[in-house]
Amino acid sequence: MTLYIALTKIWSTMDHDLSFDFVCRAGICGSCSMVVNGKPRLACKTLTSEFKDGKITLLPLPTFKHNRDLSIDTGNWMNDMSVKVESWIHSKEKTDITKIEKAVEPEVSDEVFELDRCIECGICLASCSTRIMHEDFVGAVGLNRSARFALDPHDDRTDDEFYELIGDDNGIFGCMSLMGCEDHCPKELPLQTKIAYMRRKMVKVK
């Protein structure tokens, strides 16, 4: 039994007022993130059998707006973060749909799409000491998005332009490299590697 199933059973048979979030039930949407016995995890991927003593304590993720019970608002924060780091392709070329899209080497494509596996569950932020202390910090999820576009050959931005977005204490230089983000990431993304990659690029700018 997963925690998601346990919570659903509690809601359906014991407490109809219990609030928690879920969508996919398969570790894809990131909605059911919560603190389980002190560690941020996905409820849909956590088995109750892991806890041999039968004691499970659940809390809502910190750092996000608390809605009710285990329900939090990650959506508005993620949207604001995406705007802050300009999480979209910047190209000086005008799109011509009559032409085939510019080819990308397979190894580059794989590296970019690996970072696109982020489900924006917020677990990296709940594991981050900097984010807990500074609410404007974009966190590993924001730095991961920046790395994704810095690697993408379709994006024309220079290092100077990325510096304007993340080259401060709320961006790449706010990270204390404790790597709680990578330790708890449910998709096992290479956050340490990509944060170091962006830090090296930003250090060279100024």
Let me know whether 62 and 97 are in one domain: no
- Dihedral, 175, 64, 69, 25 alpha carbons, nearest 10: -80
Cβ atoms within 10 Å of 58's Cβ, excluding its own: 17
Let me know whether 95 and 114 are in one domain: yes
Separation CA 3–CA 7 (nearest Å): 6
Of all residues in the chain, the percent with pLDDT exceeding 90 is 91
Structure-token match 């346990």, residue found:
6
Tokens linked to 22: 């879920």
Separation CA 113–CA 128 (nearest Å): 24
**Domain total in the chain:** 2
| pLDDT (0 to 100) of residue 100 | 87
Which of 72, 99, 114 is where one domain is finished?
Answer: 72
Let me know whether 64 and 79 are in one domain: no
Which of 48, 72, 96 is where one domain is finished?
Answer: 72
Let me know whether 113 and 183 are in one domain: yes
Let me know whether 82 and 180 are in one domain: yes
Let me know whether 102 and 53 are in one domain: no
Half-sphere exposure of 66 (CA within 13 A, CB side): 10
Separation CA 71–CA 76 (nearest Å): 14
Structure-token match 């489900």, residue found:
119
What confidence tens digit (pLDDT) does each residue in 78-116 have? 999 999 999 999 998 888 889 888 888 999 999 999 999
| pLDDT (0 to 100) of residue 99 | 87
Let me know whether 142 and 164 are in one domain: yes
**Domain interval for residue 176:** 75-203
Alpha carbon 91 to its chain centroid, in Å, reads 25
Half-sphere exposure of 169 (CA within 13 A, CB side): 4
What confidence tens digit (pLDDT) does each residue in 137-185 have? 999 999 999 999 999 999 999 999 999 999 999 999 999 999 999 999 9
CATH number at residue 62: 3.10.20.30
Let me know whether 194 and 131 are in one domain: yes
CATH number at residue 189: 1.10.1060.10
Mean pLDDT of the chain: 95
Q: Which of 100, 198, 105, 88 is nearest to 144 (CA)?
A: 198
What confidence tens digit (pLDDT) does each residue in 42-54 have? 999 999 999 999 9
